[in-house]
Amino acid sequence: MSKPKIFVARAIFPEVITRLEQHFDVQSSQRDETGSKALLIEKLQGKDGAFTTGGDRIDAEVLAACPKLKICANMAVGYNNFDLAAMTAAGVLATNTPDVLTETTADFGFALLMATARRIAESERYLRAGKWTQWRYDMFSGSDVHGSTLGILGMGRIGQGIAKRGAHGFGMKVIYHNRSRLDAALEADCKAGYVSKDELLRTADHVVLVLPYSPASHHAIGAAELALMKPTATLVNIARGGIVDDAALALALRDKRIAAAGLDVFEGEPRLHPDLLTVHNVVLTPHIASATVPTRLAMAHLAADNLIQFFTQNKALTPLNPEVLVKR
Shortest Cβ 180–ligand 8YV spacing (Å) = 20
Told to judge if 124 belongs to the known catalytic residues of this protein, a careful annotator would answer no
C-alpha 12/C-alpha 88 separation (Å) is 27
> Would you state the torsion angle of the CA atoms of residues 214, 210, 289, 234, taken in this order, to the nearest 10 degrees?
120
Report if residue 77 touches ligand 8YV, rule: CB under 6 A: yes
Cβ closest to ligand 8YV, residue 148 vs residue 237: 237
Cβ closest to ligand 8YV, residue 29 vs residue 148: 29
Of the candidates 202, 218, 219, 287, the residue annotated as catalytic is: 287
| Spatial strand order in the sheet of 260-263 | 192-194, 173-177, 149-153, 206-209, 234-237, 260-263, 282-284
Told to judge if 287 belongs to the known catalytic residues of this protein, a careful annotator would answer yes
Shortest Cβ 53–ligand 8YV spacing (Å) = 4
Shortest Cβ 298–ligand 8YV spacing (Å) = 11
Judged by CB under 6 A, the chain residues 230 through 259 that form the site for ligand 8YV are none
C-alpha 94/C-alpha 49 separation (Å) is 10
Cβ closest to ligand 8YV, residue 204 vs residue 239: 239
Residue 60, amino acid: A
Number of residues located near ligand 8YV, criterion CB under 6 A: 8
What phi, psi does 251 have (nearest 5°)?
A: -65, -45
Hey, is 146 helix, strand or coil?
Answer: coil
Report if residue 75 touches ligand 8YV, rule: CB under 6 A: yes
Judged by CB under 6 A, the chain residues 259 through 318 that form the site for ligand 8YV are 290
Sole binder of ligand 8YV in the list 101, 145, 210, 276 (CB under 6 A): 101
Cβ closest to ligand 8YV, residue 145 vs residue 162: 162
Told to judge if 240 belongs to the known catalytic residues of this protein, a careful annotator would answer yes
Here the contacts of 167-172 (C-beta below 8 Å, separation 24 or greater) are 167/191, 167/192, 170/145, 170/146, 171/146, 171/147, 172/145, 172/146, 172/147, 172/148
Shortest Cβ 109–ligand 8YV spacing (Å) = 12
- Which string of DSSP letters, residue by residue, matches 189-208? HHTEEE--HHHHHHH-SEEE
Q: Which residues bind ligand 8YV (CB under 6 A)?
A: 53-54, 75-78, 101, 290
Which residues are tagged catalytic? 240, 269, 287
